[in-house]
Amino acid sequence: MTVTRWGYLALCCIGLLIIICVVVVAKNHSPSPLTSGIRFAGLAGFVLLAVAAIMTPWSREISHTFGTSFTRFHHIFALGGLLAITLHPALLAIRLLNASVFIPRFGSGMATLANFGRLSLILLYVSVAAVVLRRYIPKYWRVFHALIWVVLILGIIHGTLIGTDMKNQVVFVLFNGLAIVAIGAFILKRLKGRAAPS
């Protein structure tokens, strides 16, 4: 099987989103290359994870459009997003020489919301672990894997409140739009699951 025209169009759109991330970071570059890396990793990681989540209701269509199994295609984006979003705090920890950036902080009001990114990283790994351990928890792994949508919501809140690049109007609209589409994909997936014959 080969990639269809719609498949190439979709790949170009995804590539364009990554290019926008590069351009936004480069245009408003940070004094430290490490800081620029932190920003790009956060943006690219969110894009890749959102794309991986958005495609889930269309497993058959994905397989036909991209000429490969849905699982393989989905995992390419999921693993890419996992790597990038892990680099986001890892590079920050290196810059600050402080590993506490991985530990969730709960306080009051906006401070808690702003640090939702730390909690989302933990939930992301729980979601990934559910896939790895699905043979051992066949009845529950999908529930834990669905935490990816919680990760996206917490991530967009975190980015909107303290992300340097979310002040850019284009980035703000695109990324919040991606989050909304991802939530829509979750709802559609649930509706398809209920409509499927038992």
**Which pTM value belongs to this model?**
0.92
Residues 6+ apart with CB under 8 A from 72: none
Residues 6+ apart with CB under 8 A from 192: 57
Domain range for residue 63? 5-99+106-195
Mean local confidence (pLDDT), 172-198? 86
pLDDT-above-90 percentage for the chain: 77
- pLDDT tens by residue, 79-115: 999 999 999 999 999 999 999 989 888 777 777 777 8
User: The tokens 């919680």 sit on which residue?
Assistant: 150
- pLDDT tens by residue, 142-181: 999 999 999 999 999 999 998 899 999 999 999 999 999 9
Mean local confidence (pLDDT), 186-196? 82
| DSSP at 97 | T
Tell me what pLDDT residue 67 has.
87
Q: Which of 58, 59, 82, 57 is nearest to 71 (CA)?
A: 59
Tell me what pLDDT residue 198 has.
46
Which residue type sits at 161? L
Residue 26's CATH number:
1.20.120
CB 189 within 8 A of CB 57: yes
- Total domain count, the chain: 1
